Amino acid sequence: MAHRRGWGTDGSRQEGCPIGKLTVTAPAKVNLALYVLGRRPDGYHELWTLMETISLVDEVTLSPAGGDAVGLTATGRPVPTGEDNLIVRAAHLLRERAQVSTGVDIHLRKVIPVGAGLGGGSSDAAATLVGLSRLWELRLTEDELMALGAEVGSDVPFFVAMQLRGGSGAAVCRGRGEQVEVVEAPSPHWYLLVLPKEGVSTAAAYGALRAPTRLTRVPQKAKKVQEAYERGDVEELRRCCHNDLESVALTLSAGCRRAFERTAAAGLPQAAVSGSGSALFCLCRSREEAEGYAAVLAQHQETDGFEAAVVSGPGSSQA
């Protein structure tokens, strides 16, 4: 992959940001459905998942720097700032493949909880890839950026696709997550998000899952989820939400289990685990309904050890 400056993928001139800094918003996601169809020969799991971005966001700020180093600082929730961070891995990978010698300072304002199944690390990496491709004025196609993202992490291609479509959206993802089919929702969604203090390791969750040893077909239930999503049928979506990792997350995380039990005891709609947990979400019919449920849970947040937040999907206004 050569380092090509100043031209867009359609041949048009790009403005880019050769001087100054660039801030990219990195959204979290929820899995409205997640089916694990078996273990692949390469060791990964074959997935079918419907994901949409939500309004809980990190911010990744990219600034040109002297020398050739990639530096990362962070504020907000604690995260590693070395090679263990997907931001650093994404920046190094892009520099290597695009043959860029310029250094960059990256600052992360971390809001999305770590180990929550909300894709925060993957979204940060995608924001870094897309942002640096603009900052360095690289001529990279969507396919090239998504392929790079797949090398960083399984959820990164989804977030790259969303970044290239205005920063939010939804998609059905297949394979190990790298096959992204964008889908449209006719109406925006509102969620009550429940965030236990403790996270769940994705590797531990998949390691504990009793997945099929052979690949199975996508179940009919998955197709019903997509159809309900595209119709904007919230009631049907509530009934169809499914996550093959949910029982694992509830077993691995006492905090996730307490929050799950608390939402049920409070009479909220059926909570669902996002990704490998530990975050839960309740799909709501409106912002007002979500805020009402948040008020119900507020008295239990400190004693039960979780946070609750009202967030929206693509197209919703937080005003």
Distance CA 295, CA 299 (A): 8
Residues in contact with 219: Cβ distance below 8 Å, sequence separation at least 6, in sequence order: 35
| CATH hierarchy code of domain 22-183 | 3.30.230.10
- CA-nearest of 198, 201, 129, 215 to 164 is 129
pLDDT in tens, 70-80: 999 999 999 99
Q: What is the pLDDT of residue 17?
A: 42
Q: What is the pLDDT of residue 18?
A: 52
Q: How many Cβ atoms sit within 10 Å of the Cβ of residue 64?
A: 16
Distance CA 177, CA 310 (A): 27
CATH 3.30.230.10 domain extents, the chain: 22-183
Q: What is the pLDDT of residue 213?
A: 84
Q: What is the pLDDT of residue 318?
A: 56
pLDDT in tens, 167-186: 999 999 999 999 999 999 77
Distance CA 276, CA 177 (A): 14
Q: Which CATH class is domain 190-312?
A: alpha beta
Q: What is the pLDDT of residue 304?
A: 73
Query: Is 282 in contact with 271 (CB distance < 8 Å)?
Result: yes
Which of the residues 58, 155, 223, 244 is marked catalytic? 155
Q: Identify the bridge partners of residue 76 per DSSP, sorted by sequence position.
A: 110
Distance CA 9, CA 24 (A): 20
Which of the residues 29, 110, 124, 244 is marked catalytic? 29
Largest CA distance in the chain: 58
pLDDT < 50 positions in the chain: 1-17, 319
Q: What is the pLDDT of residue 134?
A: 95
CATH 3.30.70.890 domain extents, the chain: 190-312
Query: Is 122 in contact with 89 (CB distance < 8 Å)?
Result: no
pTM value is 0.92
Q: What is the pLDDT of residue 153?
A: 96
| 44 DSSP 8-state letter | P
Taking the CA atoms of 252, 256, 261 and 267 in sequence, report the sign of the dihedral they define: negative
Catalytic status, residue 155: yes
Q: What is the pLDDT of residue 6?
A: 31
